[in-house]
Amino acid sequence: MVKMTVLASGSRGNSTVVSSSRTRILVDVGLSCREIFKRMAAAGEDPRTLDAILITHEHQDHVQGLAVTARKLGIPVYFTEPTHRAWMRWMTPQKKMTYAEWLAARKAAMEASAVPTNPEMDDREAFEEEHEELAAISEIKVEPEKDPCALPGVEYFSAGQGFSVGNISVTPFTIPHDAADPVGFVFEAEGVRVGLATDLGYIPPNAKRHLNKCDVLMLESNHDLDMLRDGPYPWSVKQRVMSRVGHLSNLAAAEFLETEYDGGAAYVVLAHLSENNNLPELARVSAERALRDRASLLANKLLLATQDVPLESIVL
């Protein structure tokens, strides 16, 4: 049995649970830990049974509660390396210094490093001692236990290279979006294939390939082009959303569903709908029209993921 529960979807937070009979994965943690646990409980899921967290990209609406949730559950986090680094930069507040302070800290650091090193000290000790001195000089607190980026475990994956978590095999694939190294995922377990792609400016050929032959397809349907054009965002933001590294419009999602999608999914979930530049009915009608010739009572049940309430679990 494979189960997918979308806990939240949209620009205020994204998180989805994908589970097999043996393994449970949380994809993105775009809500606070408290809210994730609350929504999981409401959906009949027990957070303590999660095995791993997978991250698509480092935007805030996908990582908001990551550190707290991972630490609370003591489970590993799977990133690509560039995404992990970008997340750490985002988590580490920049210390503001005047030029005079910076100069004084640098001078003191140079003097400190001029002290002859003890030849009996190994590299690690030397590094730690020097680090402590530098930290004292620049007044930056180095307390590993309070490191905001500390995680119980970090596992790196690369787009295009499959890996497994328990009995779920995961294929990450590159998507075009303005983040360090964003990915979509295909999950496969017990003969069921789940494809997931949100936050993408367009659907490149490799993503189209991965999003076919799925039993559950979760696809972004972010905005209605007219609503975005006439909407409240400044022009620069509109351009960003519409760009090839922005978000997928209802029209682009529908074009894929109509022309290059195989029509084989039992469930198509429209996701990451904009609250300002879309209406659920516009997204639904657009996708329904595209699927018209393919939809039957059994296949292609169309669902809309929402921001504030978990979507009813899909079980296959």
Question: At closest approach, how far in Å is the CB of 35 from Zn ion?
Answer: 16
Sign of CA dihedral 200, 203, 207, 208: positive
What number of chain residues touch Zn ion (CB under 5 A)? Answer: 3
How would you label 196-220 residue by residue, b for 16+ Cβ within 10 Å and e otherwise?
bbbbbbbbeeebeebbbebbbbbbb
User: Whole-angstrom Cα distance, residue 152 to residue 74?
Assistant: 5
According to the binding rule CB under 5 A, does residue 61 interact with Zn ion? Answer: yes
Segment contacting Zn ion by CB under 5 A, of 95-103, 191-199, 214-222, 293-301 = 191-199
CA–CA dist 264, 212 (Å, integer): 8
Q: What are 27's two structure tokens?
A: 């994809």
Per 3-state DSSP, the chain is made up of helix, strand and coil in percentages (nearest 5) of 35, 20, 45
State yes or no: residue 220 binds Zn ion (CB under 5 A). no
Stretch that binds Zn ion, among 118-126, 127-135, 192-200, 295-303 (CB under 5 A): 192-200
Stretch that binds Zn ion, among 84-92, 101-109, 193-201, 297-305 (CB under 5 A): 193-201
Interface segment toward Zn ion; rule CB under 5 A; list 58-66, 88-96, 127-135, 294-302: 58-66
Contacts of 17 (CB under 8 A, 6+ apart): 3, 4, 5, 7, 24, 25, 26, 27, 40, 43, 45, 50
Task: Tell the smallest beta-carbon distance from residue 61 to Zn ion (Å).
Answer: 4
Cβ distance 274 to 223 under 8 Å?
Answer: yes
CB of 197 to Zn ion, least distance (A): 12
Using the minimum distance from each CB to Zn ion, give the nearer residue, 61 or 224.
61
CB of 178 to Zn ion, least distance (A): 7
Angle ∠(275,276,277) on CA atoms, nearest 5: 100
Among 28, 199, 215, 224, binds Zn ion (CB under 5 A): 199
Positions 267 through 286 that interact with Zn ion (CB under 5 A)? none
189 or 305, CB closer to Zn ion? 305
Stretch that binds Zn ion, among 55-63, 119-127, 147-155, 158-166 (CB under 5 A): 55-63
Cα torsion angle, 258, 263, 266, 269, sign: negative
Among the listed residues 3, 24, 39, 59, the single contact to Zn ion using CB under 5 A: 59
Shortest approach of Zn ion to residue 170 CB, angstroms?
A: 19
The least CB distance from residue 46 to Zn ion, in Å, is 26
Interacting residues of 276 by C-beta distance below 8 A, sequence separation 6+: 227, 231, 232, 233
Please identify which residue in the block is written with the tokens 């419009």. Answer: 249
Interface residues with Zn ion (CB under 5 A) are 59, 61, 199
